[in-house]
Amino acid sequence: MDLKVENGCIKEDKGLGWGKSLPVQSVQEIVRNGYQSVPERYIQEIKDRPSSISSESLQASLQIPIIDFSLLAKGDEHETRKLDLACKEWGFFQIRNHGVQVKILQKMKAAMAAFFELPLMEKKKFAMGANDLEGYGQAYVVSEEQKLDWCDLVALKTLPLEQRNLNFWPLNLPGFKEAVEEYSIEVQKVAEEINANLSILMGMERDGLKRYQGELKQLMRMNYYPPCSSPDLVVGVSPHSDGGSLTVLLQDDDIIGLQIKHKGEWIPVKPIPNALVVNIGDAIEIMSNGVYKSIEHRAITNEKKARISAAAFAYVDDELEIGPLDSMVDDPHRPPMYKKIKYIDYIRQVLARKMDGKALTDLVKIQT
């Protein structure tokens, strides 16, 4: 085990972690220092640039399912059906009445804003280590040549409480720890209730997924997308699907950024004040034998305003072998579509590449 001294604090280098990301400049700092034109490394190839939203895409945006979580939690059949369809056809939905108090959402947003407002030197105290993706920095930078996202982030392991590495937490920032802790616990309850509903929909008891997946862990990725003078040239986060089981996203109430791929088109997910966005991750796609979809998504930037979001990834233990659940396999009508793979091996492959759309679940897909 290597010990590394960085900015005066000792960081443990835990050897082979999930993966690594090459250090690159803070985008927020580029913006703070002023720039004449967008630096070359951030200018996307023409095919990858966000085009303006068509009226069809805006129309489709209105169809993204909105689920009343309080009904779901009561076992309302109509709402459960809606969840089923949302996961099959969209892989994304918004939830209202999720039970997380507005005060907790606001505190979380304020804590993130306060963190990114800190001077660079202060934030660098929490910089990612060489072999891991936890901490402050930019994710998924795997080569010196690749195009870069217009985004800074801080990723923290939030749950279970004992897996937190508090040396990455800005403990001297008033209210930060409390806000993130409180929000992460609340949002995990939401993820667990959705899993219970998915378990029933997948032909198991309410605790079916819990038994299979074990206690879910949580990684919180807090994204800061600075304003960009040419939002048509850059992307905030490149197209990818999420590698975990479920993601719950807290996004800005006013600024549109998130887009999802639906029937070949990029569709914006318009914020609903105080709602949460939920999406199916690769692990559930694999476990559901492809019935529930982990959809490609990206974020675009805004010309005038910074946008902040928090993605809470609920994921399984590294050592768990994931594969299609028995209840979702019915030979020969619905044979297994994915190979079994140890989760850590899956996630290392995910993180070793630049985010590249849906290429990853394809790696474990059984070719027919």
Neighbouring residues of 47: CB distance < 8 A, sequence distance ≥ 6 = none
If one asks whether residue 258 binds ligand OGA (CB under 6 A), the answer comes out as: yes
Name which of 196 and 219 has its Cβ closer to ligand OGA.
Answer: 219
**Beta strands in the chain, from DSSP E residues, in sequence order:** 2-6, 9-13, 66-68, 92-96, 135-137, 152-159, 217-225, 237-240, 246-250, 258-262, 265-268, 276-280, 297-299, 307-315, 321-322, 341-342
Give the pair of three-digit tokens for residue 319.
């050592």
Name which of 155 and 287 has its Cβ closer to ligand OGA.
Answer: 155
If one asks whether residue 195 binds ligand OGA (CB under 6 A), the answer comes out as: no
3-class secondary structure, 346: helix
Q: In angstroms, give the least distance from the CB of 325 to ligand OGA.
A: 24
Radius of gyration of the chain measured on its C-alpha atoms: 20
Strand order of the sheet with strand 297-299?
237-240, 297-299, 258-262, 265-268
Give the pair of three-digit tokens for residue 16.
């082979």
Which of 37-45, 61-69, 210-218, 240-248 is the region at the interface with Ni ion (rule: CB under 5 A)?
A: 240-248
Instruction: Return the residue of 50, 257, 281, 324 that touches ligand OGA, per CB under 6 A.
Output: 257
As a whole number of angstroms, the distance between CA 350 and CA 327 comes to 26
As a whole number of angstroms, the distance between CA 110 and CA 197 comes to 32
Instruction: Return the residue of 111, 187, 246, 311 that touches ligand OGA, per CB under 6 A.
Output: 311
Instruction: Return the residue of 158, 197, 251, 361 that touches ligand OGA, per CB under 6 A.
Output: 251
Which of 45-53, 83-91, 113-121, 251-259 is the region at the interface with ligand OGA (rule: CB under 6 A)?
A: 251-259
Which of 38-46, 236-244, 300-308, 324-332 is the region at the interface with Ni ion (rule: CB under 5 A)?
A: 236-244
If one asks whether residue 242 binds ligand OGA (CB under 6 A), the answer comes out as: yes
Phi, psi dihedrals of residue 177, rounded to the nearest 5°: -60, -45
Q: Which residue has the tokens 């749950």?
A: 159
As a whole number of angstroms, the distance between CA 10 and CA 13 comes to 9
Name which of 153 and 328 has its Cβ closer to Ni ion.
Answer: 153
If one asks whether residue 242 binds Ni ion (CB under 5 A), the answer comes out as: yes
Name which of 11 and 221 has its Cβ closer to ligand OGA.
Answer: 221
Neighbouring residues of 121: CB distance < 8 A, sequence distance ≥ 6 = 7
Size of the site for ligand OGA (CB under 6 A): 12
Instruction: Report how far apart, in Å, the C-alpha atoms of 170 and of each of 20, 125, 155, 283 are.
Output: 22, 8, 12, 31
If one asks whether residue 276 binds ligand OGA (CB under 6 A), the answer comes out as: no
Q: In angstroms, give the least distance from the CB of 225 to ligand OGA.
A: 7
Instruction: Return the residue of 223, 288, 301, 361 that touches ligand OGA, per CB under 6 A.
Output: 223
Interaction partner, residue 308 (Ni ion, ligand OGA, none; CB < 5-8 Å by kind):
none
Instruction: Return the residue of 11, 109, 221, 293 that touches ligand OGA, per CB under 6 A.
Output: 221
Q: In angstroms, give the least distance from the CB of 113 to Ni ion.
A: 20
Q: In angstroms, give the least distance from the CB of 243 to ligand OGA.
A: 9
> Given the rule CB under 6 A, which residues bind ligand OGA?
221, 223, 237, 242, 249, 251, 257-258, 297, 299, 309, 311
